[in-house]
Structure 1
Amino acid sequence: MDERVKTARLSIISNSSLIIMKLIVGVITGSVSILSEAIHSTMDLAASIISFFSVRISSKPADKEHPYGHGKFEDVSGVLESILIFTASIFIIIEASKRLLSGKEIGSSTLGFLIMFLSAIINFFVSKKLYKVAEKNDSIALKADALHLRTDVYSSLGVGVGLFLIWITNLHFLDPLVAIFIALFILKEAFNLLKTAFDPLVDVKLSDDEISIITNAISKYSSGYCGFHKLRTRKSGNKRYVDLHLVFPGNMHMKRAHDICNNIEAEMSRSLENTEVMIHLESCDNDCINCGLPNKSKCKNR
């Protein structure tokens, strides 16, 4: 089984266990912050399920209907997961505001903060595993899932600290205030995730650092061609796509030009994993037919 699929399944198991635990403690204590954390974990579970199926689909090879592969399923997954986080955060803010206005007190805060700290520890190790596999496989779906769990770590710690302060001070209004603060924090993270996942769907170019690596790979063999232009980049899942026009002297043998293109493609693949390159060969015009060479500066196609 694909490593990404195994890791996504681990996230489903951990989130399911935490939801049950948080719901039981939330009902017993009547803490809106713990119940908000249960809702947060429910959204995490939904995200984990989406992530699980998206990485399974995206790992399929290209076929007749999807000649560029299935990588964008991961990007769609990231967008859906961010929408789920937005929805959960708004719900938490509404419920916490109602509790703040009502002034209702919670039950045992001791049990509450112990469960929250336990939840933070579990999610820390699971999210660490998810991030490791996501970075290794450049998986946006697993990165999104890891982000969910990492925010859950922070929010669980926040709730735990809030309940601990209630236990010390008996100021029960801290419970809904902490819940609102957590929801605002999650909203910020959701916005960042949405941008990261949405950009590949509209074919935003690769990062400046990645483009710099690409141009360096092209320039490494600059002694054999006149210039390049129409460089375009995009990403689909963990796949990077690069295409460009490479200009050669009009009298260069096709095999030599083709060998240079192969060297450039190999250099890019070594520098950036999961990169597919398409190079269009162009012949230099009459004003620079001998460029390549000493008169490269005269090439109008550069």
Structure 2
Amino acid sequence: MESFKRIKQVLILILFLNLLVAFLKMFYGFYINSTSLIADGYHSFSDSSGNIIGLIGICFASKPEDEDHPYGHKKFETFASIFISVMLFVVSFDILKNAYARFLNPIEPRITIDSLLIMILTLTINVFVFIYEYKQGIKLKSDILISDSLHTKSDIFVSVSVLITLLALRFGITPYIDPVMSIFISIFIIRAGIKIIKHSSDILCDRIVVDSKKIHDIAVGIEGVLACHQIRSRGREDDINIDLHIMVAPDNDIKTAHDISTELEEKLKKEIPGVGKVLIHIEPYENNEFHIDK
């Protein structure tokens, strides 16, 4: 599919930028002995790993429907998002461990103009990556791009905190600010991981995707539909599945009822972006069960 091809291109570009940012942060972090800058570099490396996992997930998700997967493979993209969140938790633990060690044995980083310029440069790249990836995720309705952009958004806040740390140390504030900021960094990373898991679990646990009232209003707007109920929706924003029961006049023949159902299916797909499959159960209208909704 063209959308999956585009998602792969975006991930490859973001992967290159994240590797560049990670290398710069790690190099200068070790050079000036800054745990917060090193922690930020690890975070950027985790971004790169997330991009790789995303590429693997997209490769599986782009496979067409088959006999064993009649609904397709798109949820592999969602699984990839969960893997990214797990990686974030592991990185957070490592950062907290290093921050604790630095509390016990504080080392004041060597602050240079170069290190400050590196932070400003990497922060600028992260801002570009977040805006670009998030917009592409919305445009392509991609779980992996949106999740990864949330991860990058946390990078922006992290980089700002590291920049504040370096400036504070530059003006002679206690070296303990470095491990303290590392702890704040880990909190940002954990927060990003929780957001990704929540979004992914909503999809995997079939949380409602479309407001039932919207589906109801579309259904009863079709001539011949006297009422509808048992409305359900699930899936991803780019692959929505809807099923509902509609009630038609009991004296309708099969062809008329089928035509009503077909018209409703087409209208749902037209008016609700991302709808892929619609399952409609037809019932005879009974006055003593349901009121007329139109």
Question: Does TM, scored on the shorter chain, surpass 0.5?
Answer: yes
Correspondence for 1:120: 123
Correspondence for 1:107: 110
Aligned residues: 288
The residue correspondences of 1:195-274 to structure 2 (distance < 5 A) are 195-206=198-209, 210-221=211-222, 223-236=223-236, 238-274=238-274
5+ residue gaps, structure 1, are 289-296
Rounded Cα–Cα distance in structure 2 between residues aligned with 1:45 and 1:116: 18
**Residues 1:27 and 2:17 aligned together:** no
5+ residue gaps, structure 2, are none
Asked whether the 8 Å contact 2:215–2:231 carries over to 1, the reply is no
Question: How much has 1:202 moved relative to structure 2?
Answer: 1.9
Correspondence for 2:65: 62
Rounded Cα–Cα distance in structure 1 between residues aligned with 2:61 and 2:41: 30
Residue range with higher mean Cα deviation, 168-177 or 32-41: 168-177
Any idea what the Cα deviations from partners look like across 1:6-34, whole Å, max 9, x if unmatched? Answer: 10111111111122111211111110001
Asked whether the 8 Å contact 1:89–1:186 carries over to 2, the reply is yes
Question: How much has 1:265 moved relative to structure 2?
Answer: 1.6
Correspondence for 1:293: none
Rounded Cα–Cα distance in structure 2 between residues aligned with 1:267 and 1:216: 11
Correspondence for 1:283: 284
**Residues 1:134 and 2:137 aligned together:** yes
**Residues 1:189 and 2:192 aligned together:** yes
**Residues 1:4 and 2:7 aligned together:** yes
Correspondence for 1:298: 288
Rounded Cα–Cα distance in structure 2 between residues aligned with 1:160 and 1:272: 44
Correspondence for 2:101: 98
Q: Which amino acid aligns with 1:219?
A: V
Could you tell me the TM-score, scaled by structure 2's length? 0.91
Correspondence for 2:78: 75
Q: CA RMSD in A?
A: 1.9
Identity across matched positions, percent: 28
Q: Which amino acid aligns with 1:61?
A: P
Any idea what the Cα deviations from partners look like across 1:11-62, whole Å, max 9, x if unmatched? Answer: 1111111221112111111100011011101111111111122223222321
Asked whether the 8 Å contact 2:220–2:226 carries over to 1, the reply is no
